[in-house]
Amino acid sequence: MRKKPAKPGFGRKIGYARVSTEDQGTDPQSDELHAAGCDAVMNEYASGADRSRPVLTKLLNDIQPGETLVVVRLDRLARSVSHLLAVIEQLEDQGAHFRSLRDPIDTSTPQGMFSLQVLGAVAQLERALIAERTKAGLFAAHARGRVGGNPVLVSRDQETIRALR
């Protein structure tokens, strides 16, 4: 059942900052989200390709009508158009809104939804092209006799392997 949507911009702004590993920091995103007026910022350490992100799931379940989910860039939220649109649809069902600071998106208009879909598709294409180039590079290196991986482990240095164990 759809909750009654509030006016756009009404309510709290909730930031969502995501990095892929705990070695990376969310501070730059958090700082930008706070500067944009977010009342709270939720931090998550998970791959963008992983749809089972507990912090995002909780945020989407708890968001209230009239509140706005804010991210620095679209790729911090979703890595595929289908996932991005699923998140946006869930927000709409909650009567909430979405904003990306670096991608001018306003999900309350048809033009904003179109822009969102186009930007999401471009981001997905870019990732696919990067993966394709990476595979081509690895194939070319392998054809030239170069073996990937940790050089110490590839050389099968028994002393080093024992030390690693």
The catalytically annotated residue of 20, 47, 108, 155 is 20
What residues form DSSP beta bridges with 70?
15, 99
Residues 6+ apart with CB under 8 A from 159: none
Say how far apart CA 60 and CA 109 lie, in whole Å.
21
Residues 6+ apart with CB under 8 A from 56: 16, 18, 42, 44, 77, 87
Residues 6+ apart with CB under 8 A from 116: 74, 84, 85, 88, 98, 103, 105, 107
Active site residue 47: no
**Active-site residue set:** 20
